[in-house]
C-alpha cells in the first residue's frame, strides 16, 4: 500500500530474474560482506561515526540446480555427475543450514539480506516471519499452508503423515545478525526434479507446488507481489527498487 508508515525500515529490492545459482550466491555474499564490514568498523569506532548498513531483498529463479547445506549428506543426491548432465542440472555444496534441495524454473526464490539488528535479534522469530509471509501468500490462493513440527519450511496437511507435502523450503545463514539465503516456493515447478533427491534428507515426504494444488498454472509475478506485500507488512519494511548491474 502507498500509505507506508514513515518509520518503516527501508530495504532495497531487486528481482534478478533467471540467474545462475553461483552468481546469485556470490552477489548475496558481496551484499552481506558489505554490511558485516560496516558493522565491524562501527564496533571499532564506538564513540565516533557510525555508518548505516543497507538491507536487501532479492527475488530470482535458478536454472536446474541441487544445493546441499552444511548438515547435509551426499547420499541424499540420487544422481552422479553423468546423471546431473542428462537432466541439465548442476550441484553445489553451500554454507546455509539444512540438507539438500532443488531449485529450478517455476520456483520463486527469495533471498533477504537483512541486518537483523535493525529488526530483532532472534533467528527463530525471523524464520517464523518468513514462514508466515508464505502462509499468508498461499492463503490468498485458498491454500492452507502450515508449519510442521520439527521441520522447517511451509507444508500442506502436516497433521497427516501420509499426505504431508512441502510447498516451500527454507534455509538461512546468519553472520553478525546479517542474513543470507532464504526460501524457495514452488509455484509452477517441475516436481519430477525432486524425485532425484531425498528432499531436505526427509525420506518418504512429498513435495508440491501451487500449480499442483490448484490444478492450474499461476502467474509468478502475481505471487511475488503477494509475498512482497506480506513481508513488508510483517517486517514493517518499505521496499525501494534497487538497480545494480554487475
Answer whether 167's CB lies under 8 Å from 154's CB.
yes
- In this structure, what C-alpha cell is assigned to residue 4? 507506508
Q: Could you say which of 60, 168, 174, 200 is catalytic? A: 200
Torsion of CA 184, 173, 117, 115, to 10 degrees: -60
Distance CA 106, CA 31 (A): 25
**For residues 238 and 5, what is the distance between their CA atoms, to the nearest angstrom?**
8
Cβ count near 183 (within 10 Å) = 23
Active site residue 200: yes
Cell numbers at 162, concatenated: 501420509
Q: Report the alpha-carbon distance of residue 51 to residue 119 in Å, rounded.
A: 17
User: From start to end of the chain, where are the E strands?
Assistant: 9-18, 56-61, 65-68, 90-93, 100-103, 107-113, 145-146, 154-156, 165-175, 178-186, 206-207, 237-241
Hey, CA dihedral for 15, 19, 22, 23, is it positive or negative? negative
Active-site annotation, residues: 200
Amino acid at each position: 500500500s502507498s500509505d507506508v508508515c514513515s518509520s518503516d525500515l527501508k530495504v532495497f529490492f531487486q528481482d534478478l530474474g533467471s540467474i545462475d545459482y553461483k552468481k546469485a550466491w556470490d552477489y548475496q555474499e558481496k551484499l552481506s560482506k558489505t554490511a558485516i564490514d560496516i558493522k565491524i568498523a562501527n564496533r571499532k569506532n564506538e564513540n565516533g561515526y557510525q555508518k548505516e548498513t543497507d538491507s536487501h531483498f532479492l527475488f530470482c529463479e535458478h536454472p536446474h540446480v541441487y544445493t546441499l547445506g552444511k548438515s547435509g549428506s551426499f547420499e541424499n543426491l540420487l544422481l552422479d555427475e553423468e546423471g546431473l548432465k542428462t537432466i541439465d542440472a548442476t550441484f553445489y555444496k553451500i554454507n546455509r543450514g539444512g540438507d539438500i534441495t532443488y531449485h529450478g524454473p517455476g520456483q520463486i526464490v527469495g533471498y533477504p539480506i537483512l541486518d537483523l539488528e535493525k529488526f530483532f535479534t532472534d533467528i527463530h522469530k525471523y524464520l517464523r516471519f518468513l514462514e508466515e509471509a508464505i502462509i499468508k501468500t498461499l492463503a490468498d490462493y485458498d491454500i492452507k499452508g502450515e508449519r510442521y513440527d520439527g521441520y522447517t519450511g511451509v507444508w500442506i496437511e502436516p497433521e497427516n503423515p501420509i499426505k504431508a507435502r512441502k510447498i516451500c523450503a527454507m534455509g538461512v545463514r546468519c553472520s553478525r545478525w546479517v542474513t543470507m539465503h532464504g526460501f524457495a516456493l514452488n509455484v509452477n515447478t517441475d516436481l519430477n526434479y525432486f524425485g532425484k533427491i531425498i528432499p531436505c534428507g526427509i525420506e518418504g515426504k512429498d513435495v508440491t507446488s501451487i500449480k499442483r494444488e490448484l490444478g492450474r498454472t499461476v502467474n509468478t509475478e502475481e505471487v511475488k507481489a503477494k509475498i512482497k506485500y506480506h513481508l513488508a507488512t510483517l517486517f514493517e519494511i518499505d521496499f525501494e527498487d534497487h538497480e545494480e548491474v554487475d
